[in-house]
Amino acid sequence: MNTEAAQRTRHPQATTTVIMGIVSVLFPILGPFVWYSGQRMLADIDKSPVHIDGRGAIAAGRTLGAIVTVLWLVVPLVVFLLGL
């Protein structure tokens, strides 16, 4: 039996983070929370002494949360400044 494979585990919130990142496109209020929690989970993975899978899903959710948050702040500002 491969002991390295036995020690690998997936972060329990990896799938939740990517799903919440997708949902934040429809509900932008979730964006900052997904961005923050994704960043915190990546820090947890980096500090962990064992290998934890799910980094890609967490990074994708975090990135979606960041994009939605920035758009949520920039688009209304541009509309206000242009007087549309």
**pLDDT tens per residue across span 23-79:** 999 999 999 999 999 999 999 999 988 888 999 999 999 999 999 999 999 988 888
Distance CA 48, CA 9 (A): 11
Confidence label for 4 from pLDDT (cuts 50, 70 and 90):
low
pLDDT at 1 over 90: no
Q: At what angle do helices 55-82 and 31-47 cross, to 10 degrees?
A: 150
Contact 64, 35 (CB under 8 A): no
Distance CA 27, CA 46 (A): 29
Distance CA 84, CA 67 (A): 23
What pTM was computed for the model? 0.81
Confidence label for 8 from pLDDT (cuts 50, 70 and 90):
confident
